[in-house]
Structure 1
């Protein structure tokens, strides 16, 4: 049986548009997010994979449980069981199970058994997508973080995956599995004085289901790879969410972004991100927020309340 704990620690509440929903009323209160998305008769779905292991399939799910804790445990158990349809199968391979989970103020930490780390890449990415899409339907869950035993889940480059929401896996809904592919990025980092931007071209391999904008932010946090360039974002910064709407990229970081000792000019940190995303993605502006809040002045100087356009005046030519 999955162990469960729920703490009452107070975290800053994070913002995310509800992406999956319908209505499931229990004791007069909905535990399922409301949205304009399609809904099954029971209001919820369990995500499995097809027999070929190339895409996800959803099966209508109904429960009479009235608490978030019981809903989480029941849905995880349902995901481990084989579905009735012979066309689908569980996303959990033999030996992989949830050892523990912690729900704290809309953030769900899931600790998997050590066998999770031995999964094939195509198995792992589908399991991750299925778990996030299934559990993020619950009203009390906005973000999910994965751990192998007690260690954070990392990507192929050793970077922590961090918080995930339903919007990170929309491409998996009935679409084929895509694995890693190469990409060249033009990233901006600080000069040695921390007061100007210098571009660096990097070559990376990334999962094609990850957005380019999220990839860029992750690479900026990782830092430069050549001498003479300095980081622009503290390495302990966590990415809460990255999304694009109407040519505006919304980047939501945790409070680690505020504790920046990497640069002498706060504009360098902000516009390193803005310039990198605008140059490399499909956005024309970037809206930066910290724990869902954008009505702040970064380092007391840069107003983050409105989307920002790229600033080429800060770039130092090499």
Structure 2
């Protein structure tokens, strides 16, 4: 009897060890699954382990919904410090064939390019932590997400995104830009702006951002609306393609001349860089935008000296 009692005790001790081991393995498994939040001040993803309440979820749909809700509300634990961006404008989500489909509302179009990238990266990395999810498809309302040039983005996988630093090259190099603003005569005048860039051969976005900020001189006027947004800007083989957001019918434009000055302040500022010879302009990813009878965004724009002041030409 005594021997049987000892065996029974040893058996229960062994069970306790096994269960303790299983619990340790479960905790280890959960701690390896993370939420990724986008820090808007550093342009990086910061992570934290999924909390204990997540382990109680059994349904895959509920797990996806939980992660999206936490990210949508920028709801982090007190241990993770980051500067949150705007709330994610997500209307619905679903799962099919190991891919999550997310539908954004039209409010997504109002986000900056960096906010859009950070938001998508946060969702893709967090959802791909789930062992039943490989990637994410994005829609705006019922329209599949496309690039500025109209190319379908398709399913986004973690391997498509630089997780650690979305902007790996901070702007540290001093550089001088030639930016054009309007004078009282309605002509363009060059103003030099001292900035810091990460790559002197890729300053397109910085030029546009300086135009949005406006002139330093009190004698010059801005040529683009202050609420204009830069969605994309890049140069290939001497042709700079930009995608901007603004209201073509804005009261900022008092006449067609104002619209012409906007276009050619952009074009002449960009073509001041030796690597840029021509400019293609998209408005919210589209070129068939009604602006003026003389300006067709389906055209490719070249530098025009006709809009530059004579004093500037002879200086």
Give the TM-score normalised by structure 1.
0.52
> Is residue 179 of structure 2 the alignment partner of residue 178 of structure 1?
no
Q: What is the match of residue 289 of structure 1?
A: 282
- Per the alignment, do residues 308 and 54 of structure 1 end up closer, same or farther by CA in structure 2, a change over 3 Å counting? closer
Contact 1:266–1:301 (8 Å) recurs in 2: no
Structure 2, gaps ≥5 residues long: 1-33, 48-58, 91-104, 125-135, 147-155
Q: What is the match of residue 193 of structure 1?
A: 185
Q: What is the match of residue 298 of structure 2?
A: 305
Measured on the aligned residues, the alpha-carbon RMSD in Å equals 4.8
**1:1-318 equivalence runs, <5 A:** 64-65=60-61, 72-73=68-69, 92-93=80-81, 100-103=87-90, 104-105=105-106, 107=108, 130-135=118-123, 137-140=136-139, 172=162, 177-181=168-172, 182-194=174-186, 196-206=187-197, 211-259=202-250, 260-261=253-254, 264=257, 266-280=259-273, 282-316=275-309, 317=312, 318=315
- Per the alignment, do residues 133 and 279 of structure 1 end up closer, same or farther by CA in structure 2, a change over 3 Å counting? farther
| Aligned mates of 1:192, 1:221 — CA distance in 2 | 19
Q: When you count helix as a share of all residues, which structure comes out higher? A: 2
| Aligned mates of 1:72, 1:233 — CA distance in 2 | 37
Q: 1:121-150 deviations in whole A, cap 9, x for unaligned?
A: xxxx9x99654423375412659xxxxxxx
Contact 2:287–2:297 (8 Å) recurs in 1: yes
Deviation larger for 251-260 or 132-141: 132-141
Contact 1:213–1:281 (8 Å) recurs in 2: no
Structure 1, gaps ≥5 residues long: 1-44, 82-89, 111-124, 144-165
Alpha-carbon deviation of 1:235? 1.4
Alpha-carbon deviation of 1:288? 1.3
Contact 1:254–1:291 (8 Å) recurs in 2: yes
Give the TM-score normalised by structure 2.
0.52
Alpha-carbon deviation of 1:202? 1.0
| Aligned mates of 2:225, 2:275 — CA distance in 1 | 25
